[in-house]
């Protein structure tokens, strides 16, 4: 698992590098599943990223979840329905999580699915081929007091899509 500090000014480039290294060569389209709540600041990371990337690269990027999405269950259901119709799509899931102290205030990226809602006691099916997680606070802390988020992930994903699919450098990074 790759861990990138929120405060690192190179975080968007490091995110791009890590995502680029994890994407199989044959992928023609990315689906980004953005998990989160617009009701809890620290749990809104995925929703913010989804809002920023929505409609940014319609030929190569499908975004599911944004600040208007209110239900994780509904978002997961939309993912399942949509992926049944999109062959060759690869899923990157974004969520804020709680974790051990050495990872707090980092962006953790790893291959494999993420189980959303675990810290909040939800039992949802795992989703994703790559997990991008903003570690908001220590896993022993009170999850009702989730702190700030960082949006380097949106720019890192945007850089990944631009490089992977040959967009001009003048293309806006986010919508």
pTM to 2 decimals? 0.80
Q: What CA–CA distance (Å, rounded) separates 54 from 106?
A: 24
* Token pair recorded at residue 172: 């806006």
Render the burial of 13-42: b for 16+ CB within 10 Å, e for the rest: ebbbbbbeebbeeeeebbbbbbbbbeebbb
Q: Which domains does the chain carry?
A: 2-165 (3.40.50)
- Adjacent-strand bridge partners of 110: 131
* Token pair recorded at residue 43: 């749990």
Per-residue pLDDT of the chain (175 residues; tens, 9 = 90+): 889 998 899 999 999 999 999 999 888 889 998 887 666 656 778 888 998 999 899 899 989 888 776 566 666 666 666 665 566 678 999 988 877 888 888 999 999 988 877 766 777 778 889 999 988 776 655 555 445 555 678 888 899 999 888 888 887 787 6
């Amino acid at each position: 698992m790759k861990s990138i500090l929120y405060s690192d000014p190179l975080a968007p480039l490091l995110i791009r590098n890590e995502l680029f290294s994890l994407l199989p060569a044959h992928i023609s389209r990315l689906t980004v599943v953005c998990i989160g709540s617009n009701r809890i600041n620290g749990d809104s990371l995925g929703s913010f990223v989804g809002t920023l990337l929505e409609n940014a690269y319609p030929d190569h990027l499908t975004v599911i979840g944004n600040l208007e999405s209110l239900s994780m269950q509904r978002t997961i259901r939309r993912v399942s329905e949509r992926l049944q119709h999109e062959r060759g799509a690869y899923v990157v899931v974004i969520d804020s999580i709680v974790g051990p102290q050495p990872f707090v205030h980092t962006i953790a990226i790893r291959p494999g699915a993420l189980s959303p809602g675990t810290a909040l006691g939800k039992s949802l099916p795992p989703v994703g081929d790559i997990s991008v997680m903003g570690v908001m606070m220590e896993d022993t802390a009170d999850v009702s007091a989730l702190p700030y988020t960082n949006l380097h992930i949106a720019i890192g994903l945007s850089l990944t899509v631009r490089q992977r699919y040959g967009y001009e450098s003048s293309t806006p990074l986010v919508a």
